[in-house]
């Protein structure tokens, strides 16, 4: 089964966002092994050191300057990568620019969202991608 | 005070999304008079008839083919329009293409989201726009 890791900096403080993320985690269970690793929000430099250990050629950083994909293109990306995939979401202070040069950058929107909302959007799109890749409808949900 | 109307087709079934939207409505109160008008999900043709009464040159329809704006550009749009503004979010079946030709189209993302998530994103961006326009920080929230 596909493994997906989301590495996120900082906790989710908004309870309703947490609950929505948990709901999508539940829905994703039949499709992939999803792990959410929450790192402490302790400043860009320390975060950068910790994150660098996780970066390889299947790591995608969420960044406003990243490539924008449609949901179908995002689903293809998931389909075409064998094994595991890692997504990194920066914290309230953003991410070290050095880290960004070592990884693929993707963007969910031209708009800026809080890191909490980013995590929600990403997990919703992961679920949508799994629905697209297994030819199931989701648009009416 | 600025008036903003969101016309949305169909109810929000996911309770946590409703609660988050309510939270942003509350936060928006000092900045604008926001009205959310929920129209019945009753098929594209009937919806189209009802919606056409609301469309004028300050109506923005959320559509994947619309113009993508950054949060700053979205804030400028809000700042530059005097009086009231209307946003339309289609329902699970989408919107009548005829309606789309009569209005401005904006897109929150290249990705597809459910109409429920769209409403949440829009209201979050309205709040962010108000924060930008009043020079307040929000990025760390």
Residues of A with CB under 8 A from a CB of B: 14, 16-17, 19-20, 23, 68-71, 74, 92, 108-114, 117, 121, 124-125, 128, 138-141
Residue A85 falls inside a structural domain: yes
- What's the whole-model pTM score? 0.93
B104-107 and A104-107: which strand pairing?
unpaired
B23 vs A17: CB contact, 8 Å cut-off? no
ipTM rounded to 2 decimals: 0.91
Q: What are the pLDDT tens digits along chain B (141 aa)?
A: 689 999 999 999 999 999 999 999 999 999 999 999 999 999 899 999 999 999 998 999 999 899 999 999 999 999 988 889 999 999 878 899 999 988 899 999 999 999 999 999 999 999 999 999 998 877 544
Q: Which of B69, B111, B141 is nearest residue A74 as measured by Cβ atoms?
A: B111
Enter the tokens of residue A55: 């970066």
Residues of B with CB under 8 A from a CB of A: 14, 16-17, 19-20, 23, 68-71, 74, 92, 108-114, 117, 121, 124-125, 128, 138-141
Q: Cα–chain-centroid distance for residue B99?
A: 16
Residue B31 falls inside a structural domain: yes
Spatial contact of A32 and A1, defined as CB atoms under 8 Å apart: yes
Residue A141 falls inside a structural domain: no
Indicate the pLDDT class of residue A54, thresholds 50, 70 and 90: very high
Residue of A nearest to B70 (CA): A111
- For residue B57, give the 3-state DSSP assignment: coil
Q: Which of B110, B125, B139 is nearest residue A68 as measured by Cβ atoms?
A: B110
Residue B138 falls inside a structural domain: no
Residue B139 falls inside a structural domain: no
Domain count of the fold of chain A:
1
In Å, how far are A26, A106, B73, B94 from A73, measured between CA atoms?
A: 23, 11, 26, 21
How does pLDDT run across B35-61, given as a tens digit for each residue?
999 999 998 999 999 999 999 989 999
∠ CA B64-B28-B10, rounded to 5°: 45
Q: Which DSSP helix (H) or strand (E) runs through B33?
A: strand B33-39
Residue B141 falls inside a structural domain: no
| Residue range(s) defining the domain that contains residue A88 | 3-133
Q: What is the CATH number of the domain that holds A102?
A: 3.40.1280.10
Residue of B nearest to A141 (CA): B114
B17 vs A17: CB contact, 8 Å cut-off? no
- For residue A94, give the 3-state DSSP assignment: strand
- Give me the residue label for tokens 């996911």: B14
A104-107 and A59-68: which strand pairing?
parallel
Residue B108 falls inside a structural domain: yes
Residue B45 falls inside a structural domain: yes
Residue of B nearest to A22 (CA): B16
A108 vs B111: CB contact, 8 Å cut-off? yes
B16 vs A14: CB contact, 8 Å cut-off? no
């Amino acid at each position: 089964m596909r493994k997906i890791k989301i590495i996120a900096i900082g906790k989710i403080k908004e309870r309703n966002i947490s609950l929505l993320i948990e709901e999508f985690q539940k829905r994703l269970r039949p499709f992939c092994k999803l792990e959410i690793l929450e790192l402490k929000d302790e400043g860009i430099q320390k975060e950068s050191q910790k994150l660098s250990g996780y970066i390889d050629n299947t790591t995608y950083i969420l960044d406003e300057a990243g490539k924008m994909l449609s949901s179908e293109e995002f689903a293809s990306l998931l389909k075409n990568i064998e094994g595991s995939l890692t997504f990194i979401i920066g914290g309230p202070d953003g991410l070290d620019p050095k880290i960004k040069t070592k990884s693929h950058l993707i963007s969910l929107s031209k708009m800026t969202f809080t890191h909490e909302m980013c995590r929600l959007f990403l997990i919703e799109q992961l679920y949508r991608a799994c629905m697209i890749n297994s030819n199931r409808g989701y648009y009416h949900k």
